[in-house]
A and B are shown apart, each in its own frame.
Chain A
Amino acid sequence: MTGVLSGVAPMAVPPGAYLVVGTLLFAIGLAGALLKRNALSIFLSIELMMNAVNLLFLTYARMRGDMAGQMIVFFVIAIAAAEASIGLAIFVALFRARRTVDVDKIALLKW
């Protein structure tokens, strides 16, 4: 399913640049997810990863002059919002039960 992106000019900035930026942001998000201890911060980093992916989508869409990418991004944003609400709710419940959201302090279930 497609929807052609109505008239756009050839890109001034080489698309590769966008891709690299997106990928780097993805990596940074990953780094945050791996290095943070606070559950919220980790989830925050994951949100960054998602946004990075969005950038990739947009870039590809632009390159192909194709709407689909944008549509996907649209949905991804919505899903991210939903995820966020659930996630934060979980963190709240977690905090109530454990008085902390420091994932390094939360290892009741192990081995």
Chain B
Amino acid sequence: MSGFLHVTGADFAAVAPEMVLCLAATLILLLDAFARPLRSYLPYVALASLAIANLAGRDVTGTFFSGAVEVSGFTRYMELVALGAVALAILGGAAALERDKRDQGEFYALLLFAAAGVILMVRGGDLLVVFIGLELMSLCLYVLAAWYRDNPAATEAGMKYFLMGALASAFLLYGVATIYGRLGTTSFAKIQGLASTPGLVAFDTMLAAGILAVVAGLAFKIALVPFHGWAPDVYQGMTTPAVAFLSTAPKAGAVLVLARVLHALFPAGLGDPWRPLLAILAVLSILFGNIVALSQRDLKRMLAYSGIAQMGYVTIALATFTTDALEGAGVFLAGYLVTNAAAFLAVAALSSGENEPKLLSELAGLGRRKPLAAAVLTLSMLSLTGLPPTVGFIGKLLVFRAAVEGGLVPLTIVGVFGSLVSVGYYLRVVYHLWMKEPAREVSLVPDDVLSGAAFLLTAALMLLWGVFPRALIDVARQAAGALLGR
């Protein structure tokens, strides 16, 4: 039983990243409101805060706030992913918002808050904290989804995302309640303690239902079939730079939390109903995502379905649930972050306006007009296809290898079939960019420094990690090891 306010400085140091982000966000809000002339510097403030948060998060480990947060290599990995995602979204977003005359301050602020939420969600050592982090993130995303609130599509996206999100939260909460009821605690540490002593926890129908509810709630954030319905609509309606964030960090966060939950409940490894369950989710997502993406004509929708499929591959790793598998998942997610963000930023740069539909056909002949963006988009398509020498290949390599080692060869076969199908639509983008003459002229925004930087950065990472993956793999391995305590 803990006394009154007995938190130490170490506790606050531990949550420094979240605090930095939240405070920076608040600062931005204030500047935006009261220091108009400084507005043009807001993106840089945001970026700076990211840098600071990153530094603040370095080499802290342990549990703090009496178990409310657990900081480890695992959570550190998530921090990097989240910060990276926000950075890219901001870099790419500035130009688009400028072009469309949309308020920016809150945009950055909410992105930072969302990042804080993701980080908190993954660091949470207690289901309650996880839930709060998740809600913090979600609320920001709801608002960002409806950012272009005068735009019918955007508001619709916001509405759909919000309603589904709320439903998912309810399910998640039900699961938390049940777990709490059956195990008497919501703390991962305690749950793991109970679960690791055999016979102590009876996995009866009640608990199973609870766990399932949690899985469903997180699968919704990851957008796995059949909990994916929102994704295409939201991607399509949401402002593109924000999608660059939405489609990466939250998914990654949800995946890691799921891994955390599963590991806490099944320290000895996934048992019978759960591994096949995840396998089913993976197969459904891979097949549905890839096949439906094939018939999409709207770029962002297509990328949404592709994202569903990509998360299917990650789910293969979850189903395998060995150190190698989680390491693979980590690498895959990092690669997916860079690649997907690059793709969406390129889409933003290659479109004439946020309110315009982003049709594949609009890309025709842009290879000549905007070589950099087009090249980056091409590269990311290749990476999503999983072709060497891009990071996409490395991710698939690790995941598939782990799955094969784990005896899930059938899953990998489904996976490669999916990849084969995916060639169809990923290369269609390339075809439009380089091999097709434009039907009509599209007016484009002039290249700006920030997005240019984003493009060079992502391109560099896609290739660098594809050719020299060692560093990335080592980090991911540490993360996985930290989670599984190996």
Contacts and interface: CB of A to CB of B under 8 A. Distances in A.
Q: Please tell me whether chains A and B touch each other in their complex, using a CB distance cut-off of 8 A.
A: yes
Interface of A: 1-4, 19, 26, 29, 33, 39, 42-43, 46, 49-50, 53, 56-57, 59-60, 63-64, 66, 68-69, 71-72, 75-76, 79, 82-83, 86-87, 90-91, 93-94, 96-98, 101, 103, 106-110
Contacts of A93: 146, 149, 155, 158
B359 to A, nearest CB: 14
Contacts, number: 129
A57 B163 CA distance: 23
Interface in B137-179: 139, 142-143, 146, 149-160, 162-163, 166-167, 169-170, 173-174, 176-178
A79 to B, nearest CB: 5
A103 B159 contact: yes
A38 to B, nearest CB: 11
A50 B187 CA distance: 21
Interface string B13-51: 000000000000000000000000000000000000000
Contact of B162 (A26, A60, A87, A97): A87
Interface residues of B, number: 47
Interface stretch (B231-239, B374-382, B405-413, B440-448): B231-239
Given A46-B163, A57-B177, A97 B170 contact: no
B469 interface: no
A98 B167 contact: no
A19 B206 CA distance: 11
B153 A46 contact: no
By secondary structure, the A interface counts as helix
B181 A63 contact: yes
Nearest to B184: A64
Contacts of A86: 139, 142-143, 162
A49 B135 contact: no
B126 interface: yes
B166 A87 contact: yes
B177 A82 contact: no
B111 to A, nearest CB: 16
Given A53-B173, A97-B155, A108-B153, A83 B139 contact: yes
B163 A39 contact: yes
Contacts of B1: 2-4
B424 interface: no
B396 to A, nearest CB: 28
Contacts of A3: 1
B212 interface: no
A59 B153 contact: no
B162 to A, nearest CB: 5
B404 interface: no
Contact of B156 (A26, A53, A68, A98): A98
A102 to B, nearest CB: 11
A76 B153 contact: no
Nearest to A15: B181
Contact of B178 (A49, A50, A56, A82): A56
Contacts of A91: 159
21 contacts: A1-B187, A33-B167, A46-B163, A46-B167, A46-B170, A53-B170, A53-B174, A53-B177, A56-B181, A68-B186, A72-B128, A72-B180, A83-B166, A83-B169, A86-B143, A87-B163, A90-B143, A96-B149, A97-B155, A98-B152, A109-B156
Given A57-B180, A60-B177, A109-B233, A97 B152 contact: yes
